Structure 1
Amino acid sequence: MARIEFISPVLDVNPKYWESKPVKQPVLSVSNLMCSFRADGLWSSVVQGVSFDIGARETVAVVGESGSGKSVTALSIMRLNSPRGTKIEGSVKLGGKELLSLSDAEMRQIRGNDIAMIFQEPMTSLNPVLTIGFQIAESLILHRGLSRAQAENETIRLLEKVRIPAAKSRFHEYPHRFSGGMRQRVMIAMALACKPKLLIADEPTTALDVTIQAQILELIKELQQEDGMSVLFITHDMGVVAEIADRTVVMYKGQAVETASTDDIFNRPNHPYTRSLLSAVPKLGSMAGRSRPMRFPVVDRSTGEADVPVEVPDTVKVSERPVLEVAGLTKRFEVKSGLFSTVKGCVHAVENVSFSIKAGETLALVGESGCGKSTTGRSVMRLVEPSGGLVLLDGVDVLKLSQNELRHQRNHMQMIFQDPYASLNPRMNIGTAIAEPLLINGKGGQSEVADKVAELLQKVGLSPDMAKRFPHEFSGGQRQRICIARALALEPKLIVADEAVSALDVSVKSQVVNLMLDLQARMGLAYLFISHDMAVVERVSHRVAVMYLGEIVEAGSREAIFQNPQHPYTRRLLSAVPIADPARRLQKRTVSNDEIKSPFRPADYVQPVRQYREVTPGHTVMISG
C-alpha cells in the first residue's frame, strides 16, 4: 500500500499513525493569517503569517503578552475588526469553508451559529438596560427561529447548564445584579445558545478572582465534553494554559514563534521567548523554606536564560513601633429606600479589622472581590470615611484629622491603583503628573521639581527624556511604573498597593514586583499589598491576612498561611490557584460553584463576637462567631 502524506495533520504524532488512520478535517484552519491597521495613511502590520489548526473537541491556547497580536488574531477570525481601517489576508477556513471571502450577511450567519466568542469583561459585553434572559433569548429567536416562549424555556435551560442557581427566577434580572463570575457564565450561556462548532474565549478569566477563575475553567472543560465543541482560548496566564489547553501557540510581536503540544511547550520549549514566559510564571509553593520575599528572575529574551533570583535583603532597621496600626476598623454603607429614605439595612464592607505594618515590611491582604479588602485600603487612606475604628500612621490618628491636616499627613501615605491608565490624566504628560504633588505641597521650585522628576523616573527604570510623553505612549507596565514614581514623589512611609499588578502580563508583572521590592529595601517602605493573586502574594509578602465578608478570618506569617492554612476559606483560595503543570490538565478538580455571600445585613443586625485561636505565635484563625 502506497504511503499517503497529508499537508496539515491536526495532531503532532508519529507519522506512521497516518498510514492507517484517516485524517479528520480540522474544525478551524488558519493559514498565513496577516492583519494590518491603517494609521495616517500608512499600513502597519499587526499579525504576520500566523498558522494553526483546531481539531474536533480540541482546545488550542494562543498565549503572549499584551500587544503580541493574539486578540487581533481572534477578531480577524471572526471578522470583527473595522473594515475601513483593517486589511486581512491569508486563509481562515471553518469546516473547509473560507471565511475571508464571505459577504457581511453570510458572516453574520456564521457568528453565533458556528463560531461564538466570549470576551474578557462581561459587563461591557452585556446591555445594562436589558435583562440577561432577554439578551440570550434574542439570539435564539434571531438564529434558531424559536418563538418567544420557546426561547425563554431554552434560555432557562442554558442558564442552568452554566450552573447559575435559581435560573428561572433570575431570568428577568439585569446584569448589574450578577457578580463578575456569574456575568461571565451568562456570556458563556449566550455563546452556547446556538450550539457553535467553535468557541473563542478571549481572556475570559483575566480579571476574575482565583476561585471564580477555577469555576469558569472547569465549566468550559465540562461543556466542551458535553457539546463536543472546539475551543480557541486566548490568555497571557501560563497557569491557565496548562490547566485547559491540548496545544499551544506562542505569539510574540505579531508572529507565532512556537506551536506545539502544551506538554512540549512547558517541558521542552524551543524558542527563547517561550522560555522567558515560563521563567516569569510565579509558582505556588516555590517559597517553601524561605523567610524573606524573593525577586522574580530577570530573563534575557534573546536567549531565554534567567538569572538566579535572590531574596530581598533586609537593609532597613525595623523600628519597634509599626508605621501603620489599624484597630477595629469598620465601614458600613447604609442602604436606604422609600419616600423618606429610611435606612433599610447596611452593607458590612469592613467589620472590626485590625493589623499593623512595620517599616520595610509587606502585609498582603487577600480575598475574593467583595470581601472588603479594597475598602479597607481606601478607609486607611480616608478615601472613604470609616464608620469606626482606629488608624494610626506613625502614632497620628488619621481618622481624627481635619481636611487640611489630612492633606499634610497624606504626604506620608500614598496609593497605587489597579488600572494605571485610569489613574493618569490622558491630557497631561507624565512629567507634569509626577511633578503635580510636589508643586501642590510646595516641595520646591520649577527647576528643583524638574530634577526630582528626572530622578524619580530613573528610580523606576524609565528615562528622564520620557517626561514629555503622554500616558497613551507607554505600555501597561511602564504606566504602572509612572504611577509608582508619582507615589514616591513625596517620600511616603506607607504605600497601599490595591491590585497594582493584577491586570499586568506575567513578564511585566515580574518587572513591577521586582521594582517594588527593590524600592522597599532601599527606602524602608511599608506596603499594604492588596491582591487576589496568591502566587504573587507568596513571593512578595512577609505576613498575610485573609479576608472574607469584611472580616479577617486568618492571619499570620507568609510561611504559616501558605504551608499550614487552617481556615476553610484560606484552603479554598489556595486550592483554586492554577498550577503551571500540563500533567494535571485531565484531573478533575472539585470546585465550589457557590457565589460569595452578600454582606448586606438588616438595620437591626448585631455583629456577633468573634473568637480566634492562635495556632502558632503570630498565626491566628477565626473559630466561631
Structure 2
Amino acid sequence: MPTAVSAPVSAAVSTPLLEVENLTTAFRRDGAWREVVHGVSFTVGARETVALVGESGSGKSVSALAVMRLHPRQASRVGGRVLFEGRDLLALPEPAMRGLRGDAIAMVFQEPMTSLNPVLTIGFQIAEGLMLHRGLGREAAEAEAVRLLDRVRIPAARSRLHDHPHRFSGGMRQRVVIAMALACRPKLLIADEPTTALDVTVQAQILDLLKELQDQEGMAVLFITHDMGVVAEIADRTVVMRHGRAVEAGDTAEIFRGAHHPYTRALLSSVPKLGSMAGETRPLRFPIVSATTGAVDVPPGLPDTVTPGQRPVLEVSGLTTRFDIRGGLLGKVRGCVHAVEGVSFTLGAGETLALVGESGCGKSTTGRSVLRLIEPAAGSVLLDGEDVLTLGPAALRERRKRMQMIFQDPFASLDPRMSVGAAIAEPILLNRLGTRAEARARTADLLQRVGLTPDMASRFPHEFSGGQRQRICIARALAVRPRLIVADESVSALDVSVKAQVVNLMLELQAEFGLAFLFISHDMAVVERVSHRVAVMYLGEIVEMGPRAAVFGDPQHPYTRRLLAAVPVPDPARRGARHKVSADEIRNPIRALDYVPPVRQYREVSPGHVVQAWGEEWEPKGTSAAA
C-alpha cells in the first residue's frame, strides 16, 4: 500500500494554521464501511494558499468536507486528526464546531445556486451569519452586507441587497457566496472548485478577487481544483490526490518544474496551454502520459482533412433567433431576447469551426438553431445546399440523419432506463438504416471505435464515468453516419486527462469520416488545439472570425483580446499577476419590441480574417472608436 505523502511546510510559515494528519474517511454502503480517503496529511499556514488537486473521485472534496465535519454522522466515519490553531476539530463537540463554521473557518462551494437559499434574499443570507457570529443587529448587519457586496464588486450593491439568487448570473452568485464566506473575516477559507463552471473572464475576476481579499485579510486558503492552470496562478504549495491518497506534495513551482509521480506528470501534460499551437497549421492531438508508468505517448500528426474548393457542408446566412419576453396579467409580449442576430458562416467537410464566447453570448442557441432544435426567426441554413429552415416535419426528420449534436451533460442526454447499447442502436432502427442484428453489430463496432468494449452495451448510464458517458454520446451521434456534428461544450465538464482523451477521439473520428464539427466552447486553450477556424461571439453576434492562427496570434476585436487575457496560464512564474479583465458582466440582450438592430460593418484584416467594427463602449476613456 502506498504511503501517505505529507506536504512540507514552507520555510516562510512557522506554525501551521491547519494541520491534517492521517485523515481517513469511510462511508456506509450496502451495510458495510468503505474507506475512500486513506491517510491524507497536509498543512496550511497563515496567509498561505495550498491547492488540493486531483480528478473527480480523487477524494479532495471529501477531505475538505471532513475537515469541516459536514459529512452526515450516521453514514460516515472520519479518522485521524484535524488541528486548527492547535485544537482537534474532530474531537470538538458539535456546538463548538458550529461556532467555528462560517466564523474562523469558511467554505465556498462549487455550485453557488445550491449553496444559496432560493427563497431568501442575498442580503438576509449574508446578514444571518453576521448576526449569529458577531451579534450585530439587523440594520448593522445589512449595512455590513452592502459593504461586503461592494468589496466583491457587485454593481449597485445597495439596490440589489433584497434580490433573490435567481436574479443574478452565475459569476455574480459566486461573488455573493464569497461575500458570505468572508463576512466574519475567517482565518481559513476552503474554496471547493469555486471557478470550475465559470467562463474564463468570470473565472479570472473571481481569482483576482480572492487574491486581493487574501492580501487584505491575511487569511489562509485551501483551494480545491482539478485545473492545473488555476493552481499555477494561486497556490504556494500543492498536494496531488489520486484514489483517496496524497501521491505528491511540495512547492508549486517545483512540482511544475519536475513532478516525480507519474500521475502528476500525466495531469500536467494534459493541461491545454494557450499558445502551444504556434506554427502549427492544423489541429493536433494531445500527448497522453500514463498515470502509472509516466510513459509519454505522442500521437502522430493527423492528415489534412479540409479539401479546398469543395462546396461547404454547412452555409449559415443571416441566422436570427429571438425569444419573446411576456409580462402583465394577460402575458403580453413586452420585449425580445436577441439571442442570435444576423450570424453568418460556412463549414466544410473535415473542418472544425469553433464558436467561442461567454455564457449568454448566443453560441449554444446558434448550434441549436442550426439543427432546428430551436426555431430561428430569420436567415437560412443550407446543409449540402438544401435549406433546413424550409423543410416540413417529415423532411426535417429525414435530414437529421446528416446532422447530429453532442450535448454538454452526457448523463442528462442519456435515458437512465435504457442500456447504452439500446441508446446507440435506437437512431439506427428509427431511421431504418438496418435490421436489429445489423444495429447490434454497428453498436459493437461504434463502442470499440470510441475506446469502449462491446460487452458494455448491456450496462446503463449510471455505471459509467463522465468521460465514458461522453464517449457513448459520441458513438450515438455517429450511429447515423452524419456529415455535421454540433459539439456543445462537449468536454467542458471533464477532468483534464479525460478531456484530452475525448478531444483526441473526436479528431481521429473527424480524420476517418471527414466530419464537419461546429465546436462550441468557452475553453480557449482547447479551442486552439482542435479548430481550423474560430468565430468569437458577443451578444448574439460574431465580432471576429478567421483562421485559428490569425485569431489567436493577432486578435483584433477588444472582446477577443479580453477572452484571451483571461485564460489561466499553467506557469507558476506568473503567480501573483493580476488579469487585466473588466469586472463587468456581459450586457443584457433584452430589447424593446421596436428595437432595430444596427447594420454591422466588417473589415478583412488578413485573408479570411474578418472583424466587426466596434464603438465607444469598447474604447478606453479618452480614445475614439475604431472605424
* CA separation of 1:309 and 1:9: change in aligned 2, threshold 3 A: closer
Give a deviation string over 1:263-311, Cα, whole Å, max 9, x none: 0110021111111111111110010111000000021222223223443
8 Å contact from structure 1 (residues 10, 26) kept in 2: no
Match of 1:612 among 602, 611, 625: 602
The separation in 1 between residues aligned to 2:323 and 2:300, in whole angstroms, is 44
Match of 2:541 among 522, 531, 551: 551
Does 2:301 match 1:311? yes
Does 2:367 match 1:384? no
Match of 1:287 among 252, 274, 277: 277
Residue 426 of structure 1 aligns with an amino acid whose one-letter code is P
Residue 137 of structure 1 aligns with an amino acid whose one-letter code is A
Give a deviation string over 1:10-39, Cα, whole Å, max 9, x none: 6344xxx9xxxxx73211100000111121
Does 2:85 match 1:95? yes
Which aligned segments of 4 or more residues in structure 1 are displaced greater than 3 angstroms? 315-319
Cα distance, 1:624 vs structure 2: 4.2
The separation in 2 between residues aligned to 1:9 and 1:519, in whole angstroms, is 42
Does 2:407 match 1:417? yes
Residue 537 of structure 2 aligns with an amino acid whose one-letter code is M
The equivalent residue for 2:587 is 597
The separation in 1 between residues aligned to 2:159 and 2:199, in whole angstroms, is 26
Residue 17 of structure 2 aligns with an amino acid whose one-letter code is V
* CA separation of 1:463 and 1:430: change in aligned 2, threshold 3 A: same
The equivalent residue for 1:152 is 142
The separation in 1 between residues aligned to 2:371 and 2:97, in whole angstroms, is 52
Cα distance, 1:136 vs structure 2: 1.0
**1:421 alignment partner, SS class:** coil
The equivalent residue for 1:352 is 342
Summarize the alignment of residues 35-184 of structure 1 with structure 2, pairs less than 5 Å apart.
Answer: 35-184=25-174
Does 2:240 match 1:228? no
Match of 2:191 among 201, 212, 224: 201
**2:16 alignment partner, SS class:** coil
The separation in 2 between residues aligned to 1:342 and 1:589, in whole angstroms, is 44
The separation in 2 between residues aligned to 1:220 and 1:198, in whole angstroms, is 12
Cα distance, 1:9 vs structure 2: 9.5
Residue 172 of structure 2 aligns with an amino acid whose one-letter code is M
Give a deviation string over 1:120-176, Cα, whole Å, max 9, x none: 111111111211111111121222221111111010011011111110001011111
Deviates more, 1:114-123 or 1:316-325: 316-325
The separation in 1 between residues aligned to 2:303 and 2:97, in whole angstroms, is 58
The separation in 2 between residues aligned to 1:443 and 1:38, in whole angstroms, is 47
**1:422 alignment partner, SS class:** coil
8 Å contact from structure 1 (residues 361, 525) kept in 2: yes
The separation in 2 between residues aligned to 1:474 and 1:462, in whole angstroms, is 11
Does 2:480 match 1:490? yes
**2:475 alignment partner, SS class:** helix
**2:380 alignment partner, SS class:** strand
The separation in 2 between residues aligned to 1:545 and 1:581, in whole angstroms, is 27
The separation in 1 between residues aligned to 2:267 and 2:67, in whole angstroms, is 25
**1:484 alignment partner, SS class:** helix
Does 2:578 match 1:580? no
8 Å contact from structure 2 (residues 323, 337) kept in 1: yes
Residue 542 of structure 2 aligns with an amino acid whose one-letter code is I
Cα distance, 1:319 vs structure 2: 6.2
Match of 2:512 among 514, 517, 522: 522
**1:399 alignment partner, SS class:** helix
The equivalent residue for 2:332 is 342
8 Å contact from structure 1 (residues 316, 521) kept in 2: no
The separation in 2 between residues aligned to 1:467 and 1:120, in whole angstroms, is 33
8 Å contact from structure 1 (residues 29, 94) kept in 2: yes
The separation in 2 between residues aligned to 1:144 and 1:37, in whole angstroms, is 35
Residue 263 of structure 2 aligns with an amino acid whose one-letter code is Y
Normalised by the size of structure 2, how large is the TM-score?
A: 0.95
Does 2:231 match 1:241? yes
The equivalent residue for 2:9 is 11
8 Å contact from structure 1 (residues 294, 539) kept in 2: yes
The equivalent residue for 1:263 is 253
The separation in 2 between residues aligned to 1:363 and 1:9, in whole angstroms, is 44
Cα distance, 1:590 vs structure 2: 2.3
The separation in 1 between residues aligned to 2:310 and 2:578, in whole angstroms, is 49
Deviates more, 1:400-409 or 1:366-375: 400-409
8 Å contact from structure 1 (residues 319, 359) kept in 2: no
Does 2:426 match 1:436? yes
8 Å contact from structure 1 (residues 275, 305) kept in 2: no
The separation in 1 between residues aligned to 2:69 and 2:197, in whole angstroms, is 25
* CA separation of 1:211 and 1:255: change in aligned 2, threshold 3 A: same
**1:547 alignment partner, SS class:** strand
The separation in 2 between residues aligned to 1:96 and 1:356, in whole angstroms, is 64
Residue 24 of structure 2 aligns with an amino acid whose one-letter code is M
**1:419 alignment partner, SS class:** coil
8 Å contact from structure 1 (residues 10, 55) kept in 2: no
Residue 16 of structure 2 aligns with an amino acid whose one-letter code is P
The separation in 2 between residues aligned to 1:430 and 1:144, in whole angstroms, is 54
Summarize the alignment of residues 446-525 of structure 1 with structure 2, pairs less than 5 Å apart.
Answer: 446-525=436-515
Cα distance, 1:316 vs structure 2: 6.4
Residue 590 of structure 2 aligns with an amino acid whose one-letter code is F
**2:439 alignment partner, SS class:** helix
Structure 2 portions without partners, runs of 5+: 1-5, 616-627
Cα distance, 1:257 vs structure 2: 0.4
The equivalent residue for 1:20 is none
**1:423 alignment partner, SS class:** coil
Give a deviation string over 1:398-448, Cα, whole Å, max 9, x none: 111111111111111110111111111112111111111112222222222
The separation in 2 between residues aligned to 1:404 and 1:282, in whole angstroms, is 43
Give a deviation string over 1:96-127, Cα, whole Å, max 9, x none: 11011122222211111111111111111111
Does 2:620 match 1:622? no
The separation in 1 between residues aligned to 2:144 and 2:243, in whole angstroms, is 43
Does 2:311 match 1:321? yes
The equivalent residue for 1:541 is 531
Give a deviation string over 1:46-79, Cα, whole Å, max 9, x none: 1111100000000000111111111111111111
Give a deviation string over 1:468-498, Cα, whole Å, max 9, x none: 1111111110010001011111111000000
The separation in 1 between residues aligned to 2:272 and 2:442, in whole angstroms, is 34
Deviates more, 1:545-554 or 1:116-125: 116-125
Residue 333 of structure 2 aligns with an amino acid whose one-letter code is V
RMSD of the TM alignment (CA)?
1.4
Q: How many residues align?
A: 610
